[in-house]
Amino acid sequence: MRDAFHDDLSSITDDLVEMTRMTGAAIERATRALLDADQHLAESVIAADDDLDEMRRAVDNLVVDLLARQQPVATDLRSVITAMQMASDIERMGDLARHIAKVARRRHPEHAIPDELREVITSMMEAAVHLAKSTGTAISTRDVNAAMTIEGADDAMDALHRRIFGHLLDDTWKHGTEAAVDITLVSRYYERFGDHAVSVANRIIYLVTGRY
Amino acid sequence: MRDAFHDDLSSITDDLVEMTRMTGAAIERATRALLDADQHLAESVIAADDDLDEMRRAVDNLVVDLLARQQPVATDLRSVITAMQMASDIERMGDLARHIAKVARRRHPEHAIPDELREVITSMMEAAVHLAKSTGTAISTRDVNAAMTIEGADDAMDALHRRIFGHLLDDTWKHGTEAAVDITLVSRYYERFGDHAVSVANRIIYLVTGRY
């Protein structure tokens, strides 16, 4: 039989998994808005980020409430604190999707992404969606092996980030400084999205194994 | 007479203030390394960031320990949780200083910053140092008015960030794409440094007033 503490923690965990689902959807839609110069889609991603912020505040409040009522110690206490820290990382992943949508909105009706970079940006989106999904799985299962795959998936994201820089610093770059600035920022946003997934994974690994 | 809880919280607060001092020093030294293309100084900023990471982990452990031993509720509980969240923001400010130092190191022996941008980058450093100091003051005093000045100081940082973009997007930009990419990232790092100071300020305001 489950006790009240584990029921509450399980409910917080469900919220975190839902937040990872929302960030995955957000970065996928933000990328579509960017690639298609779709202003309406960009606006909808920007607006939807409020829901993630709200959900993160709700998780913080649930955590404080749980701590006050149940006063957990040892691993239970660590689990609750870690949940709050993960909510912060996941909310930030949503912010990064919103930043990508804002670049699409700012450049509309122009396309921020030149044709020859569409493929690598699409790969970054796929990597980000995969990272968001893996993060949700690692949170719900607390499986250290699942968490450890996230670092490898983020290495793929970092390689894409370097590929973008390879294009930007190539002598044949012909899209001017404004495009270079936008793409630098966009690429950085995907890279940071991956970093936060790794941060969540490391928190799970530390929680389960006690090691960084 | 003070009780054990307030002694512990006061010790955590001292650590947070020390962390803001360290981030202020880090971003000042990182900027000097950037402006002077000083590789040794850049290396020393990068190495020193480990101390901040270590200190953040120590604060997290103190918080968990305090929660387990003292089981605070209500405002005391909120104060402890907020301290942990502030440690996360301040550690991130240190990461951003390290990122700036890494740009200096990567471009050495070249200068990453063209002459006409030295003044605005110097102003960004001054704004960042001021923000780090104000953040420390707001944490130690829990003075809502002090915390509220931080948002205004960050507006000045945002204006400098826009000035940088004005230079980059000016038709007369003649330093090429590599310099534009580096400066885009560097400017973004200062801007994010300010955002984290605002985040700390907002946490203090919420803690004291219960309002965002």
Tens of pLDDT, residue by residue over A118-138, are: 999 999 999 999 999 999 999
Interface contact flag, A168 B185, Cβ < 8 Å: no
| Coil vs helix vs strand at B167 | helix
- Asked if the model's pLDDT at residue B1 lies above 60, the reply is no
Average pLDDT across chain B, whole number:
96
Mean pLDDT to the nearest integer, A149-153: 96
The span from the CA of A117 to the CA of A174, in Å, is: 12
Q: Report chain B residues whose CB lies below 8 A from the CB of A73.
A: 68
Q: Which long-range contacts (CB under 8 A, 24 or more apart) does A151-159 make?
A: A151/A198, A151/A201, A153/A127, A153/A194, A153/A197, A154/A194, A154/A195, A154/A197, A154/A198, A156/A127, A157/A124, A157/A127, A157/A128, A157/A131, A157/A190, A157/A191, A157/A193, A157/A194, A158/A191, A158/A194
Taking the alpha carbons at both ends of chain A, their separation in whole angstroms is 32
- ipTM associated with this complex: 0.94
Contact between residue A42 and residue A33 where contact means Cβ atoms under 8 Å apart: yes
B47 touches chain A (CB under 8 A): no
pLDDT score recorded for residue B212: 77
Give the gap in angstroms from C-alpha A65 to the nearest C-alpha of chain B: 9
Residue of chain A with shortest Cα separation from B165: A181
Q: Please report the pLDDT score of residue A15 as a whole number.
A: 98
Residue B172: pLDDT band (50, 70, 90) is confident
Cα A116 from Cα A173, distance rounded (Å) = 11
Q: Is B175 on the interface with A (CB under 8 A)?
A: no
Q: Which residue of B has its CA nearest to A85?
A: B85
B211 by Cβ neighbours in 10 Å (0-12 / 13-18 / 19+) ranks as: exposed
For B86, which DSSP code? H
For the four alpha carbons of B90, B95, B99 and B101, in that order, the dihedral sign comes to positive
Task: Compare all CA atoms of chain B with the CA of A60 and give the residue at the minimum distance.
Answer: B81
Chain B (85-114) residues lying within 8 Å, Cβ to Cβ, of chain A = 85, 88
CB spacing of B67 vs A63 below 8 angstroms: no
CB spacing of A84 vs B88 below 8 angstroms: no
Asked whether the beta carbons of residue A73 and residue B78 sit closer than 8 angstroms, the reply is no
Closest Cα in chain B to A164: B181
DSSP B117-165: GHHHHHHHHHHHHHHHHHHHHHHHH--HHHHHHHHHHHHHHHHHHHHHH
Is residue A172 less than 8 Å (CB to CB) from chain B? no
Q: Give the model's pLDDT for residue B188.
A: 98
Q: Which residue of A has its CA nearest to B89?
A: A88
Min distance B124 CA to chain A CA atoms (Å): 19
For residue range B45-104, what is the model confidence (pLDDT) as tens digits?
A: 999 999 999 999 999 999 999 999 999 999 999 999 999 999 999 999 999 999 999 999
Provide DSSP, chain A: ---HHHHHHHHHHHHHHHHHHHHHHHHHHHHHHHHHT-HHHHHHHHHHHHHHHHHHHHHHHHHHHHHHHH---HHHHHHHHHHHHHHHHHHHHHHHHHHHHHHHHHHTTS-SS-GGGHHHHHHHHHHHHHHHHHHHHHHHH--HHHHHHHHHHHHHHHHHHHHHHHHHHSTT--SHHHHHHHHHHHHHHHHHHHHHHHHHHHHHHHHHHS--
Dihedral of the alpha carbons of B200, B202, B205, B210, in degrees to the nearest 10: -120
pLDDT, tens digit, 9 for 90 and up, residues B29-61: 999 999 999 999 999 999 999 999 999 999 999
> For residue range A28-42, what is the model confidence (pLDDT) as tens digits?
999 999 999 999 999
> Is B185 in Cβ contact with A180 (below 8 Å)?
no
CATH class of the structural domain A4-209: mainly alpha
Which residue does chain B place closest to A69, by CA atoms?
A: B73
Confidence band of B149 (pLDDT split at 50, 70, 90): very high
**Any chain A CB within 8 A of the CB of B173?**
yes
Distance (Å, whole) CA A196 – CA B151: 25
Which residues of chain A neighbour B64 with C-beta distances below 8 Å?
A: 77-78, 81
Domains of chain B, residue spans: 4-209
Q: Which of A48, A94, A93, A46 is nearest to A199 (CA)?
A: A93
Q: Give the pLDDT confidence of A37-84 residue by residue, as tens digits.
A: 999 999 999 999 999 999 999 999 999 999 999 999 999 999 999 999
Nearest to A77 among B64, B73, B165 (CB): B64
Q: Do A185 and B188 touch (CB under 8 A)?
A: yes
Q: Which of B67, B76, B171, B186 to mutate to test the interface with A (most CBs of A within 10 A)?
A: B67
- Asked if the Cβ–Cβ distance from A77 to B67 is below 8 Å, we say yes
Q: Please name the residues between 109 and 148 in chain B that touch chain A, using a CB distance below 8 Å.
A: none
Tell which A residues from 67 to 86 touch B, by Cβ distance under 8 Å: 67-68, 71, 73-74, 77-78, 81, 84-85
